[in-house]
């Protein structure tokens, strides 16, 4: 749904209201609200210039820009912790990723539908278009744009008026189109609703009033028409001093003339037809139609599938009828179809009173005396015409029954009901034909035939064919219950309103069938009456009564139809005719005919969602279950194998179908094939980031292994343990991970299998490493190598090298780690082996990180691309995420900050799907540094805090040093040297050889030097430099060397210093370290100021400024501009350009630093810069 992931919601279609994280916001200043509302309505970014000219046209540029900065700061403070406003150069916009605006949603909807509406100016709309228009109009809380908001600023009031007119005109047009659609669809009540809405905006539009009166008349709401006259007079006469249009008054008069008084009488419904529990829901339109037709007379065929409530509907109709009537309820039974007139004999026996028998003519009494002993009285004995009813007696019997029905219907309307008409005997149908031909159902009452769909009765079909041309012949079809009716019935039965999810599942399971619903509720309540417990059930139990009903019904089908249904049941819901044809090998025409018949009798129904051309589902779950329950094991196995063969012929072995293949193989008893396909299904689910589906597939595979262990060899077991184990590790599910490898160890020991033992020891070594039990980890890994090297090299050996590299890193042995990652990456093994590809991708990602840390981010970036490419089609989330993050690290060191930020959304999305704590913390630290470099300090601090939260004290020691260093960097660029020193110094004593600790060490030394403590700081830098060289960590050594050279600015041999800096700058450029190259070149310029011409220096400074701007390094650009502005060799024009750019950078820093503590730090920092500028001016 739109807006589910939006934390800022702005509603302007009606009185303005702002929600932030689902809380209504109070924005005190009206001008701040105005800017927010204006930005909210813009589809494209807006320049600062256009904003200040609209809101402060009479102020100077300096004052108006100051006002805008204050408003933007207020808005960022209002929505603290979220990047609501995006600033890109001079352009401003709201962040569409987290912001939802009803105006934009409405405009987007109009853009999508206006062409289709133009091509369909009237009549019924397609369902999808109707729902989209309806949803768009529902965005309006009132018909007025920004109702009640006034700025008293001509330019803004003009924008509000123009925008409001356009939006409101579209709204009115759409509302009137909804009116037309609902009238064309016969949905008059909804048409009346939208007409009332349209009249709020256009109260004097006579056409709308005329439509309103027409809809009220056609929907039977006659009394409301007469009340509407007062409404018209109030609108026209009172509100606008106008006369009511005569056409409207004439309409009301015509309706009044057409009405006749109608007096209802007290109901005398038969007590035998009283409502019984459970409560009756729905069917209101059908009950009304039955009432109307019973007053007119005629014949009604009431059709419905099994359990649809035909009998109950007829009973309810009789119970609710509010005029005097007599009912004759006749029920046919399947076992009585050979008994002549049995339904009517039983019905008349219950309905006719003794005095009514006595009113029959003597001749007719003789015909009925043998059938109805009730006619005999002590005083009046009647000799029967016959003792046993035969076909030749029927004419006289029919005449006698006609007279009897005429007698009992003299005072009241007659309602004759034949329930289960599909089972009625031919004589009973002949009786109905005779009575209908004598028009008793037109003059005295109505005949209602309740017929179950799907059962044939030739005599009944002939009766219907003969009379259906009669104008008083009607067909009614009982539809399934909708969700609202299911909710009402469930509430009545269970005494508590069920949650919507339970209602949806009931609707899905019983397909709205009332009988199945009641039986399901009964079985469910036998299980529990606690609603919270029932909601958690994976499926609702199917009652035996429902299965028995379906079984009996299916037994009447012919052999071919039953074969099609059995195949469809094995395929399961949904199924396509294409697959059904391939499974049964029947002619498509035969399949089509059978499916059409099954749809007509409500055994199956069409499901348009089945791709590509639609398909079918069983109408009710009990039908499907009844078919499967009655399949023999051999028949079931055969059908499942036929489905597998058919799927392979049609679709091939697509990964998306692996779960279906696995299910059919398992149902066919093909355990090994099912096992392999469950593993494939798990990989496919992993590729789609569907953890629950992946775990479900793995569990099915494990269950097959546990139940049939003897059928699986060591490679089968390894594939499951390695695949699921790696995935569980990615999810930080160490419990499952440990259980899997312990079980693998047990199986290896049980089978004396070194391959399984090596796999288990490798996995356990990885786990011990994470737990920092390095001695235990190395012992397991040593044993793993012994076991694995005893056989043919395989993926597990590659994995052992990868784990060895991880353990080396934990021990701060970077060169050994790099060597092991190289081995894992280059080991020549079968490229088709999925685990080989996954392990190689992960090894490449780790190797990329070490190359980047080694000061070769270009090579690290290239290797990261190999890892990403290798992982793209592997279905391994861990490999894909690691490859992406290793690339981000390389891009950070190459100063491509914007590129990292741009791809961060996709990486973050993966991290949301997978609980990979270490990698998430590492990535957030990279992202924090990128935001820091581009001057977005709120974001930098936010991601630094995210990384901090993810790291526990017991697990990720090196990462904690990284976080302290990151925090120190933020303080350092803001010239808060004391705080920076504290952060860099944290944990140094415990992690002196860790990469991040070494990075913090040289930065600590540099910070001390900046504070004037060179004697303490310089040795620390040199110590970090030496350790970095020993480890081959170029990202320690090159920056440390650069810092040392910077501290030698006052050296006596300036030429030697300049040469050293030039060499180091070339090395930085060769390595791809863009930002450090600029730092070194800037330092080199400072050392050579006295040896170069001013014009040359200015050009080089300008070049540095351009490059710093290109890579979006805010701090380098600010530093270079400050150098230009403070230099006397630079022309005044260039100095002023730099001054303006410095002011813009400071504005941007302030706007992007609204959270504590960076807000105060930035304020203090900008104050220092502004004082330096003032001093330079003086």
Rounded CA-CA distance 946/962 in Å is: 13
Structure token pair of residue 353 = 């009173």
How many Cα atoms within 13 Å fall on the side-chain side of residue 916?
27
Structure token pair of residue 475 = 């067909």
Q: What percent of the chain has pLDDT over 70?
A: 89
pLDDT at residue 134 above 60? yes
Q: What is the pLDDT of residues 651-678, one digit of tens each?
A: 888 888 999 999 999 999 999 999 999 9
Domain boundaries, the chain: 1-202, 217-259, 271-477, 484-541, 543-643
In contact, 433 and 470? CB cutoff 8 Å: no
* Residues sharing a CB contact under 8 Å with residue 1175, sequence separation 6 or more, in sequence order: none
Q: What is the pLDDT of residues 437-456, one digit of tens each?
A: 888 888 778 899 999 887 77
In contact, 846 and 886? CB cutoff 8 Å: yes
Q: Find which of 368-377, 533-542, 1127-1136 is predicted with most confidence, using mean pLDDT.
A: 1127-1136
pLDDT at residue 2 above 50? no
pLDDT at residue 1038 above 90? yes
Rounded CA-CA distance 404/410 in Å is: 10
Of 1154, 1060, 1036, 837, the closest CA to residue 74 belongs to: 1154
Classified by CATH at the fold level, domain 543-643 comes out as Arc Repressor Mutant, subunit A (1.10.10)
The CATH code for residues 271-477 is 3.40.50.300
Q: What is the pLDDT of residues 182-209, one digit of tens each?
A: 887 878 888 898 999 999 888 888 888 8
Residue 601 DSSP class: T
Least confident span in 536-540, 939-943, 1033-1037:
536-540
What's the mean pLDDT when you consider all of the chain?
A: 84
DSSP string, 628-694: HHTS-HHHHHHHHHHHHHHHHHHH-S-GGGHHHHHHHHHHTT-HHHHHHHHHHHHHHHHHTT-HHHH
Least confident span in 34-38, 305-309, 469-473, 1123-1127:
305-309
Least confident span in 76-90, 398-412, 991-1005:
76-90
Phi/psi at 953 (nearest 5 deg)? Answer: -65, -25
At 1058 the pLDDT is 82
Of 660, 704, 469, the closest CA to residue 571 belongs to: 660
Q: Which residues pair with 452 in a beta bridge?
A: 304
Least confident span in 511-520, 731-740, 900-909, 962-971:
511-520
In contact, 457 and 309? CB cutoff 8 Å: no
Q: What is the pLDDT of residues 871-899, one digit of tens each?
A: 776 656 677 888 899 999 999 999 999 99
Residue 392 DSSP class: G
Indicate if 543-643 has the same CATH topology as 1-202. yes
pLDDT at residue 525 above 70? no
Q: What is the pLDDT of residues 747-762, one digit of tens each?
A: 999 889 999 999 999 9
* Residues sharing a CB contact under 8 Å with residue 838, sequence separation 6 or more, in sequence order: 726, 871, 874, 876, 879
Rounded CA-CA distance 889/859 in Å is: 12
Tokens 């080089």 belong to: 1100
Where b means 16+ CB within 10 Å and e means fewer, 449-471 reads bbbbbbbebebbeebbeebeeee
Structure token pair of residue 2 = 């739109």
Q: What is the pLDDT of residues 566-598, one digit of tens each?
A: 999 999 888 989 999 999 999 999 999 989 888
- Helical H runs in 877-976? 877-893, 897-913, 917-933, 937-950, 957-973
Residues 670-694 have a mean pLDDT of 87
pLDDT at residue 275 above 50? no
At 392 the pLDDT is 84
Q: What is the dihedral of CA 938, 940, 941, 945, to 10 degrees?
A: 130
Q: What is the pLDDT of residues 219-274, one digit of tens each?
A: 777 888 888 888 999 998 888 888 888 888 888 887 776 554 322 232 333 333 33
Please check whether the domain covering 1-202 is classified as CATH 3.40.50.720: no
At 890 the pLDDT is 95
pLDDT at residue 731 above 80? no
The rounded radius of gyration (Å) of the Cα atoms in the chain is 42
At 20 the three-state DSSP class reads strand
pLDDT at residue 1097 above 50? yes
Q: What is the pLDDT of residues 455-513, one digit of tens each?
A: 778 899 999 998 888 888 999 888 888 888 888 888 777 667 788 888 887 877 777 78
At 260 the pLDDT is 40
Number of H helices, E strands in the chain: 56, 14
Burial of 162 (0-12, 13-18, 19+ CB in 10 A): exposed
At 809 the pLDDT is 86
Tell me the pTM: 0.56
Of 465, 446, 452, the closest CA to residue 421 belongs to: 452
At 151 the pLDDT is 67
DSSP string, 503-535: HHHHHHHHTT-HHHHHHHHHHHHHH---HHHHH
Structure token pair of residue 733 = 């599910």
Structure token pair of residue 212 = 């309103």
At 158 the three-state DSSP class reads helix
Q: What is the pLDDT of residues 364-376, one digit of tens each?
A: 888 888 777 766 6
At 935 the pLDDT is 93
């Amino acid at each position: 749904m739109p807006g589910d992931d939006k934390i800022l919601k702005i509603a302007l279609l009606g009185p303005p209201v702002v929600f932030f994280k689902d809380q209504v916001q109070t924005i005190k200043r009206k001008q701040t609200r105005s800017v927010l509302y204006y930005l909210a309505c813009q589809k494209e970014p807006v320049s600062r210039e256009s904003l200040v000219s609209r809101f402060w046209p009479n102020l100077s540029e300096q004052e108006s820009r100051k006002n805008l900065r204050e408003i933007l700061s207020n808005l960022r403070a209002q929505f603290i912790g979220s990047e609501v406003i995006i600033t890109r150069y001079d352009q401003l916009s709201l962040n569409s990723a987290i912001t939802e605006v009803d105006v934009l949603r409405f405009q987007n909807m109009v853009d999508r539908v206006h062409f289709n509406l133009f091509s369909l100016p009237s009549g019924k709309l397609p369902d999808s278009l109707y729902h989209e228009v309806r949803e768009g109009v529902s965005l309006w809380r009132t018909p007025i744009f920004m109702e009640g908001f006034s700025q008293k600023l001509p330019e803004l009031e003009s924008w509000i008026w123009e925008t409001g007119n356009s939006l409101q005109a579209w709204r009115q047009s759409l509302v009137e189109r909804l009116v037309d659609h609902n009238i064309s669809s016969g949905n008059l009540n909804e048409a009346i609703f939208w007409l009332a809405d349209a009249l709020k905006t256009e109260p004097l539009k006579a056409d709308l009033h005329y439509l309103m009166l027409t809809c009220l008349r056609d929907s039977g709401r006659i009394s409301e028409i007469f009340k509407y006259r007062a409404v018209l007079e109030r609108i026209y006469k009172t509100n606008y001093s106008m006369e009511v249009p005569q056409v409207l008054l004439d309409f009301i008069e015509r309706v009044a003339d057409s009405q006749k008084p109608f007096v209802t009488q007290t109901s005398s419904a038969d007590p035998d037809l009283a409502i019984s529990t459970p409560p009756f829901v729905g069917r209101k339109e059908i009950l009304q139609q039955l009432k109307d037709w019973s007053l007119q007379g005629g014949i009604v065929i009431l059709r419905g599938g099994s359990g649809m409530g035909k009998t109950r509907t007829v009973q309810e109709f009789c119970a609710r009828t509010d005029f005097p009537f007599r009912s004759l309820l006749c029920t046919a039974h399947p076992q009585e179809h050979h008994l002549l007139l049995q339904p009517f004999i039983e019905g008349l026996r219950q309905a006719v009173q003794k005095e009514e028998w006595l009113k029959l003519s003597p001749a007719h009494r003789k015909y009925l005396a043998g059938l109805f002993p009730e006619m005999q009285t002590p005083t009046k004995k009647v000799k029967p015409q016959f003792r046993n009813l035969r076909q030749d007696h029927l004419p006289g019997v029919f005449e006698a029954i006609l007279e009897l029905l005429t007698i009992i219907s003299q005072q009241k309307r007659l309602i004759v009901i034949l329930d289960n008409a599909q089972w009625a005997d031919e004589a009973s149908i002949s009786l109905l034909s005779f009575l209908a031909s004598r028009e008793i159902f037109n003059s005295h009452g109505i005949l209602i035939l309740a017929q179950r769909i799907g059962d044939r009765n030739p005599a009944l079909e002939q009766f219907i064919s003969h009379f259906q041309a009669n104008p008083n012949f009607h067909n009614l079809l009982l539809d399934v219950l909708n969700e609202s009716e299911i909710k009402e019935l469930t509430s009545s039965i269970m005494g508590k309103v069920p949650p919507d999810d339970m209602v949806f599942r009931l609707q899905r399971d019983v397909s709205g069938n009332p009988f199945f619903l009641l039986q399901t509720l009964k079985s469910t309540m036998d299980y529990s009456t606690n609603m919270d417990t029932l909601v958690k059930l994976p499926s609702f139990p199917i009652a035996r009564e429902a299965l028995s009903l379906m079984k009996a019904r299916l037994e009447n089908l012919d052999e071919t139809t039953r074969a099609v249904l059995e195949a469809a049941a094995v395929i399961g819901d949904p199924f396509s005719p294409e697959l059904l044809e391939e499974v049964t090998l029947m002619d498509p025409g035969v399949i089509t005919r059978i499916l059409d018949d099954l749809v007509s009798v409500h055994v199956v129904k069409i499901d348009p969602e089945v791709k590509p051309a639609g398909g079918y589902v069983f109408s009710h779950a009990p039908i499907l279950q009844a078919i499967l329950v009655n399949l023999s094991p051999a028949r079931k196995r055969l059908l499942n194998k036929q489905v597998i063969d058919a799927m392979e012929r049609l679709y091939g072995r697509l990964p998306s179908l692996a779960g279906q293949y696995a299910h059919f193989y398992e149902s066919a008893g093909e355990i090994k094939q099912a096992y392999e396909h469950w593993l494939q299904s798990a990989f496919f689910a992993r590729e789609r980031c569907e953890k629950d589906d992946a775990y479900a597939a793995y569990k099915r595979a494990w269950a097959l292994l546990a139940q049939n262990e003897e059928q699986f060899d060591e490679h089968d077991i390894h594939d499951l343990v390695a695949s699921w184990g790696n995935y569980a590790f990615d999810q930080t599910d160490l419990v499952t991970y440990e259980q899997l490898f312990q079980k693998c160890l047990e199986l290896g020991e049980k089978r004396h299998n070194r391959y399984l033992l090596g796999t288990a020891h490798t996995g356990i070594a990885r786990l011990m490493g994470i737990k920092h039990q390095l001695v235990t980890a190395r012992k397991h890994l040593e044993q793993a190598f012994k076991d694995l090297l005893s056989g043919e090299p395989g993926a597990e050996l590659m994995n052992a090298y990868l784990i060895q590299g991880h353990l080396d890193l934990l021990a701060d042995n970077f060169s050994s780690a790099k060597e092991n990652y190289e081995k894992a990456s280059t080991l020549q093994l079968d490229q088709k082996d999925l685990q080989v590809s996954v392990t190689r991708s992960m090894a490449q990602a780790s190797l990329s990180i070490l190359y980047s840390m080694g000061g070769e981010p270009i090579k690290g970036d290239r290797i990261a691309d190999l890892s990403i490419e290798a992982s793209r089609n592997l279905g391994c989330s861990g490999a894909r995420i690691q490859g992406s993050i290793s690339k981000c690290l390389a891009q950070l060191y190459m100063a491509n900050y914007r590129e990292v930020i741009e791809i961060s959304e996709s990486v973050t999305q993966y991290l949301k799907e997978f609980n990979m704590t270490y990698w998430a913390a590492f990535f957030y630290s990279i992202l924090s540094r990128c935001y820091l470099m581009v001057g977005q300090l709120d974001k930098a601090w936010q991601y630094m805090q995210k990384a901090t939260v993810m790291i526990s004290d017991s697990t990720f020691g090196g990462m904690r040093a990284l976080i302290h260093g990151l925090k120190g960097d933020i303080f350092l660029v803001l010239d808060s040297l004391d705080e920076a020193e504290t952060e860099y110094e944290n944990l140094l004593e415990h992690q002196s050889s860790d990469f991040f600790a070494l990075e913090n060490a040289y930065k600590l030394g540099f910070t001390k030097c900046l504070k004037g403590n060179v004697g303490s700081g310089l040795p620390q830098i040199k110590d970090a430099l030496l350790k970095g060289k020993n480890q081959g960590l170029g990202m320690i050594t090159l920056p440390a060397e650069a810092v040392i050279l910077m501290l030698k600015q006052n050296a006596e041999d300036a030429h030697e210093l300049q040469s050293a800096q030039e060499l180091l700058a070339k090395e930085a450029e060769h390595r791809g370290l863009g930002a450090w190259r600029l730092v070194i070149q800037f330092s080199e310029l400072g050392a050579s100021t006295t040896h170069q011409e001013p014009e040359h220096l200015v050009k080089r400074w300008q070049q540095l400024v351009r490059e710093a701007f290109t890579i979006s390094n805010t701090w380098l650009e600010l530093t270079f501009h400050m150098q230009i502005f403070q230099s006397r060799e630079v022309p005044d024009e260039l100095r002023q350009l730099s001054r303006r750019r410095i002011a813009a950078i400071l504005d941007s820093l302030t706007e992007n630093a609204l959270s504590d503590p960076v807000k105060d730090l930035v304020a203090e920092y900008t104050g220092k810069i502004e004082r330096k500028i003032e001093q330079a001016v003086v």
